[in-house]
Amino acid sequence: MNFEIKYKDARGRLGVLKTPHGNIKTPALMPVIHPGKQTIDVKEYGAEIVITNAYLIYKNEDLRGIAETKGVHKLINFDGPIMTDSGSFQLSTYGDVQVTNKQIIEFQEKIGTDIGTSLDIPTPPSVKRRRAEKELEITLQRAEESLEVRKDLMLNSVVQGSTYPDLRSKCADILGKMDFQLHPIGAVVPLMESYRYRELVEVVMASVTHLPDSRPRHLMGAGHPMIFALAVAMGCDLFDSAAYILYAEAERLLMPNGTLKLENLHEMPCSCEVCTNYTPDELRQMEKSERVELLARHNLMISFAEIRQIRQAIIDGSLWELVEQRCRAHPFLLEALRSLKNYQEDFDKYDPPYKKSAFFYSGPESLNRPEVFRHLKRMHRISPAKTVLLLPRSSKPYSEHLNDISQGFYHIGGKSNGVMPKFEEMQITVVDVPFGIIPLELDQVYPLAQNESPEHFDEDSIVSVNEILHDYVKSFDEIIISEEVVETFRLKKTFTMGELFQFPEPLKIMVNDHKRIKMIADYQFGAGAGEDLFNKEMNIVKSRKTGKIRHVYDEEELIATLRASDGVFVLAREGARRLHKFLPYPKNRVVVNEDAEPFAREGKSIFAKFVINCDIDIHAKDEVLIVNEQDQLLAFGKSILNGKEIHDFKTGQAVKTRKGGF
């Protein structure tokens, strides 16, 4: 098996999974095909992979005969990759199956399935812990047995553990050390059927955070499109859906924001071929079999459209916005989204820091996104000045629109006496939602300039900014706060204000270019990086069109380019050399073996299988240094994966090399 990540957002991955019968783009939806009742060609609607039940085939003599002689692909008339279930669903429904784990593994291999599944014990939610532990042990024993039985079959092994997060994590840890290719997260259908989405989040996160990043995760039974975006954001790659036909039989239409009953419809809800060619009355008057097939087609089209939208959102970097939209479709989904706040540190590691899409604030839940968490963490890399001047929001970038400031100010600490501190002794910071504090030198860095929030702040955002400011100003001896900031964020409850005063002259806000480039470097690479990269007066070249900094030279030697799209530095060769000298090993480094060393020097991209070590804190899209075991600088480039993923993957690109030749 070969799984490679192409794009990332949140914990979501747009990837390629290679199988004996073709490649699959992930996230992917696998329609469930009943081996004896197939009526719809799901490939017409976008299915690249399907799932069918090996146990049903095994138990039916006619189906079994065809599958054993012609193969499962001929049996269900699908020439792409096929995953088969082992009978665990029947085990959970009826309490017993008439097949052993060894028999069903051998049978799946015999009929030519691409991805087989061991016969796990699907422990339902909320059972007593003793039962969950006992059944988990059986699941793990059968997983180990399945590896002994299989020859070339790609194997699923299901993460179980009921609603006990520690058992899910234990199971994932143990399975992750075994030679499986994929990992379903099982026994979650009862949670979804009863809208227990917050518990679903706990189960999924307890599993994916302990599974190898290099293996796709399959959320079993998650067939409703309203859950796809949230599940993908948590790191799920595959979904199986019998919902398209089951809901059709119940005369219900799936939509990304819920379910509609045909009996209640006066208008059809979308522009698919079913909704444009038939009215609700026409569908209601049909024979049931014809009506069910048409509704199933609608459900398939809606489901695959949602998967495509999710893939595009990952590429654009707007998956979080889509998740927030979808989770507002149901109160319990919204509760689940809010519970992701408990996993901010984990999401920070996986969420790329720079994206194509702007950050859109859509409500209090946006305050919990990794962009906000990451910004506040990186602010600790910035050395505080003696005095901070806190100003209200303006148009972005702030430094271009804060010209003559003549409003009233409050003063805390120090001795101002109405005398303006020198600019070089003062940190000018804008106070805004959702990031709270934005030093003017950073106001062009993603996402501090590339975000939008409502003009009028909600209560949660006011409280959040108040808390952020309370921590931020502790680093300064003297605080000068605009009256507007004080009133907007109710700071009189937080600080003891001095008297309101005005400066004799309107404040002319300016940003020193050399201070700007050093602070951006500190923010991007770590405290002190700016001083080492730009250790004397630099030659700063600006864009004639925009007036923004484009290149930084030391005399005629290019050090770095400030990327226009996100305001961060792209290193030149001399910049990489200086950063390598400044940062201690293994910070910002990807270490390659001897085989890859000559290719790195030539500027070739680095593949994960050649990496022997790396900084675990690397994010996807970070500027990284490529070195050998002796820490000799070979090249530099942009990371495709984060540090944890680079350690785990053995396939695909890890770093897109920019320059070699050291």
Model pTM greater than 0.85? yes
Q: What is the CA radius of gyration of the chain?
A: 28
Cβ–Cβ < 8 Å for 212, 173: no
**Residue 153, CA atoms < 13 Å, CB-side half-sphere:** 26
Q: How far apart are CA 258 and CA 276, in angstroms?
A: 20
Query: Over the stretch 358-370, which tens digit does the pLDDT of each residue have?
Result: 999 999 999 999 9
Q: pLDDT of 584-626, one tens digit each? A: 999 999 999 999 999 999 999 999 999 999 999 999 999 999 9
Edge-to-edge order in the sheet of strand 409-412: 409-412, 478-482, 387-392, 426-432, 436-439
Q: What amino acid occupies position 69?
A: T
Q: Which residues pair with 439 in a beta bridge?
A: 429
The percent of residues above 90 in pLDDT, for the chain, comes to 87
Place of tokens 């993908």: 232
Annotated active-site positions, please?
A: 85
* pLDDT of 503: 78
For strand 426-432 and strand 623-627, is the pairing parallel, antiparallel, or unpaired?
unpaired
pLDDT computed for residue 425 by the predictor: 76
Domains of the chain and CATH, by start = 2-349 (3.20.20.105), 359-508 (3.40.50), 529-659 (2.30.130.10)
DSSP sequence for 552-600: EEETTEEEEEE-TTT--EEE-HHHHHHHHHHSPTTTTEEEE-TTTHHHH
Say how far apart CA 363 and CA 384 lie, in whole Å: 31
Which residues, in sequence order, are CB contacts of 264 under 8 Å at separation 6+?
none
Q: How long, in residues, is the chain? A: 662
Q: What is d(CA 229, CA 313) in angstroms, rounded to the nearest whole number?
A: 10
Classify residue 484 by burial, with Cβ atoms within 10 Å: 0-12, 13-18, 19+.
middle
* pLDDT tens string 311-345: 999 999 999 999 999 999 999 999 999 999 999 99
Listed range (348-352, 414-418, 481-485, 508-512) with the worst mean pLDDT: 414-418
- Residues 591 and 612 sit within 8 Å (Cβ to Cβ): yes
Task: Kindly indicate the confidence band of residue 90, based on its pLDDT and cuts at 50, 70 and 90.
Answer: confident
CB atoms within 10 A of CB 64: 19
Beta carbons of 399 and 430 less than 8 angstroms apart? no
Say yes or no to pLDDT of 421 above 80: no
Q: Is the dihedral of CA 203, 205, 208, 209 positive or negative?
A: negative
Residue 216: is its pLDDT beyond 80? yes
- Measured CA to CA, the distance from residue 70 to residue 60 in angstroms comes to 15
The phi and psi torsions of 643 (rounded to 5 degrees) equal: -60, -40
Average pLDDT over residues 290-315: 97
* CB of 527 closer than 8 Å to CB of 383: yes
Question: Is the CB of residue 79 less than 8 Å from the CB of residue 48?
Answer: no
pLDDT digits (tens, 9 = 90+) for 256-270: 999 999 999 999 999
